[in-house]
Structure 1
Amino acid sequence: MTTDPDPIAIESRFATVNGVRLHYLTAGAGEPVLLLHGYAQTSHMWRPLIAELARTRLVIAPDLRGFGASDKPAGGYDKKSLAQDVHALIASLGLGKLAVAGHDIGLMVAYAYAAQYPAEVSRIALMDAFLPGVGDWTHVWLLRDLWHFHFYGTTPLALVEGRERIYFEHFWNDFAADPTHSVSEADRQLYAAAYAQPGGMAAGFEVFRAFERDASDFAGFAATRLTMPMLVLSGEKASGEFLIAQGRLVADDVEAVIIQGSGHWLMDEARDQVVPKLTAFLTR
């Protein structure tokens, strides 16, 4: 009789870098892999992938500044600065060159990380959203929902206080190919509670407020093309070909996969397709 191997133990830890206390999940040993979550989620989204990667790799999945169990200061939400936070975390752990993957806002942070520290990134995976400031970036699929990019300040915060779940249902439902096959009910409860913490919604809104600065930073980054392998995973019913085209504008070695039938929430809508592709790429 055979038994399954012991489940991978995922640890929750904290580190203070750049004056901010960051929470992160970690598991495994070996060459490091960095996973960066997006908006309306936290590092929790990566748990199914961490369990696979940690069989052969050391995995680090932080809550970005302002998210989850990390500190929520008033500023520092441009993606260049968020990447610097994460780089300081990696340095504090004594780690060097790594593979990095990011979804949604996390892909922007992943790109900013690779652009600022190209010698320290072995490969990069970008998952369904867009790169501000690269190509015709204002004509993304999300343009029809552009309102939330400008939804910040005193009045929006007052409107969503105590109604965080209602606000996030728009993202989880409308950005999915099928609202009934999107982020799970248990995870919706977890994420809504995480963002309802003091300063959580304000921090999330600041991520959008920073897009204009991000566009300026990324236009500068794009002048120097990335040379490490890049994987772009894009939802058929979400970013589609757009993110793939952007990836080819900023990198020389791009492998692209459109996840058929999926919307924006790739890890939740198409886990059986996405986890094997990411695992194969990040451990290649």
Structure 2
Amino acid sequence: MNIITRIARHVGAALLFAATLHTPAHAAPAPSIQAHSIKANGVELNYLEAGAGTDGTPVVLLHGYTETSHMWLPLMKQLDGRHVVIAPDLPGAGNSSMPASGYDKKTMAQDIHAMVHALGYRKVKLVGHDIGLMVAYAYAAQYPDEVDSIVLMDAFLPGVGDWQKVWLLRDKWHFNFYGDTPEKLVQGRERIYFEHFWNDFAADPSHAMPEADRRLYAAAYAQPGRMRAGFEYFHTFSQDAQDFAGFAKTPLPMPMLVLAGEKASGTFLIDQARLVAPDVRGVIVKGSGHWLLEEAPAQTIAELVKFID
């Protein structure tokens, strides 16, 4: 071994040792997200789980229509080192079972609550997007002492305030698109149907839902019975409106963050939220439509992480 080689090896070893001295002892391990299933309230719920936490309060992420728990993967990777994170497929979606009924948000919240208890937790931090925010609100309204905080992400609360003037009123037809004929019309054309939501609810369709996700979600909802179940999320809005009008009479005690797309719900959801909770922080996600995590991931994830932490 010549002198230059020996010097290079000694310098390399010294640099490696110095690097270990400056590596934080609490550095988070690589994210590990695993899929599980559990039966709760008579429903088999598939869920993704990641992370570890010291306060025993998991973060529960609730997806919206046309999506599944898959939508939360970017956020789960950011929270993994500090929190237990649980992202279920809602009843009827993804790999969760499809009950014959119970798609009103009050009942769906009871299903998620039963899952949380079955996993050994009591208090949670809730985050919901689209249909998921309705489930999150119904959960917080029914179990306020078991919710540390709640995030509502771009949609609306049926039955709260002047909710019939919701920003997507022009597309209200799909609220009533359910039953045998609609199911037959979309069979084999699930992606064509979903493209309407992914494109028309986005600020810029070319920078909204990624192609790989479009394929994944279309395939997931194309499975037998999935479109019927998804239609039921809207079929139950009249019941949700009655339930939520009752819930709204008792203000939520926990802090709330509302994230709304500038090109979607704007201030509508923020204004609604202030009718049901006194401690509301509203944030308009600039330049984004309805698909906040896909259209504006940096701002959306930063706001979520800051609030959850």
Task: Assess same fold via TM > 0.5.
Answer: yes
Q: 1:165 aligns with which of 191, 197, 213?
A: 191
Correspondences of 1:28-47 after superposition (within 5 Å): 28-30=51-53, 31-47=57-73
Match of 1:51 among 77, 99, 104: 77
Name structure 1 gaps, 5 residues minimum: none
TM-score (norm 1): 0.98
Q: Does 1:9 align with 2:35?
A: no
Does structure 1 residue 236 correspond to structure 2 residue 259? no
Q: Contact 2:156 / 2:166 at 8 angstroms: preserved in 1?
A: yes
Q: Counterpart in 1 of 2:48? A: 25
> Does structure 1 conserve the Cα–Cα contact (< 8 Å) formed by 2:29 and 2:81?
no
* Shift, 1:79, TM fit: 0.2
Cα deviation digits, residues 212-247 of structure 1 (max 9, x gap)? 000000000000000110000000000001000000
- Does structure 1 residue 124 correspond to structure 2 residue 147? no
Q: Distance in 2 between matches of 1:27 and 1:5?
A: 12
Q: Distance in 1 between matches of 2:245 and 2:79?
A: 32
CA contact (8 A) 2:141 2:247 kept: yes
Moved beyond 2 Å, runs of 4+: 1-7
Q: Tell me, in whole angstroms, the C-alpha distance in 1 between the residues paired with 2:223 and 2:248.
A: 36
State the TM-score, normalizing by the size of structure 2: 0.90
1:61 counterpart SS class: strand
The amino acid of 2:178's aligned partner reads: Y
Say if 2:51 and 2:83, in contact at 8 Å, map to a contact too: yes
Separation in 1, partners of 2:48, 2:204: 29
* Cα deviation code 1:191-215 (max 9, x no counterpart): 0011011110000000000000000
8 Å contact 2:28–2:81 — kept in the other structure?
A: no
d(CA) in 1 for partners of 2:125 and 2:43? 23
Higher Cα Rg: structure 1 or 2?
A: 2
Task: Find the counterpart in structure 1 of residue 12 from structure 2.
Answer: none
Give the corresponding residue for 1:245.
271
Task: Map Cα deviations across residues 39-82 of structure 1 (whole Å, 9 max, x no partner).
Answer: 01000000000111111000010001000000012211000000
Amino acid at match of 1:269: E
Distance 2:28 2:112 in 1: 32
Cα deviation, residue 7, structure 1: 2.4
Matched residues, percent identical?
65
1-side partners of 2:61 and 2:282: how far apart?
19
In the TM superposition, residue 95 of structure 1 has moved relative to its aligned partner by: 0.4
Corresponding residue for residue 102 of structure 2: 76
CA RMSD, 1 decimal = 1.2
Larger relative contact order (C-alpha < 8 A, sep ≥ 6)? Answer: 1
Equivalent residue number for residue 282 of structure 1: 308
Cα pair 2:46 2:95 within 8 Å, conserved: yes
Q: Within 5 A, what are the aligned runs for 1:134-153?
A: 134-153=160-179
Output the CA distance in 1 between the equivalents of 2:284 and 2:246: 27
Residue of 207, 216, 220 corresponding to 2:242 = 216
Deviation at 1:26, TM superposition (A): 0.3
Distance 1:28 1:7 in 2: 10
Structure 2 unmatched runs, 5+: 1-15
Give, in whole Å, the separation in 2 of the partners of 1:6 and 1:173.
37
